[in-house]
Amino acid sequence: MISAQALAIRHAIECGEYDHATRLWNQWSAELRSASERGEPRKAEWAEAMELYEWSRTTLRCARSHLTDRLNALHVAGAYGVPASRGTAAVNTKL
């Protein structure tokens, strides 16, 4: 079963709400750290955090690559005086 924290972080990333995802990650990390200091963390929680970390890393790398491609298309279009296509004009700069 996926925890509420993991679902919330995943949803924020999927929606491109990277600042919100960061806040959620920081909150969850603090909770895990506190539990660890009390000797309470379970292996399942750490495994879930690692799995979400790997998923997040891959997803964010793909998003960054996609945005870089769109930005490059704008630069090329500008260099040749060609209007950028409608799809490349709205680059999301949240990353």
Round the average pLDDT of the chain to a whole number and report it.
85
CA distance to 1, 23, 47, per residue, from 40 (Å): 19, 23, 14
pTM for this one? Answer: 0.70
Q: What percent of the chain has pLDDT over 90?
A: 51
Q: Which residue has the tokens 């690692």?
A: 50
Q: What does 75-94 look like in DSSP terms, one character per residue?
A: HHHHHTTPPPPHHHHS----
Look at residue 30 in the predicted model and tell me its pLDDT.
94
Mean pLDDT of 66-75: 84
Residue 83 has what pLDDT?
A: 62
How far lies 19's CA from each of 35, 39, 44, 49, in Å? Answer: 25, 30, 26, 18
pLDDT attached to residue 10 = 96
The pLDDT tens digits of the residues spanning 12-57 come to: 999 999 999 999 999 999 999 998 899 887 888 989 999 999 999 9
Determine the pLDDT at residue 94: 53
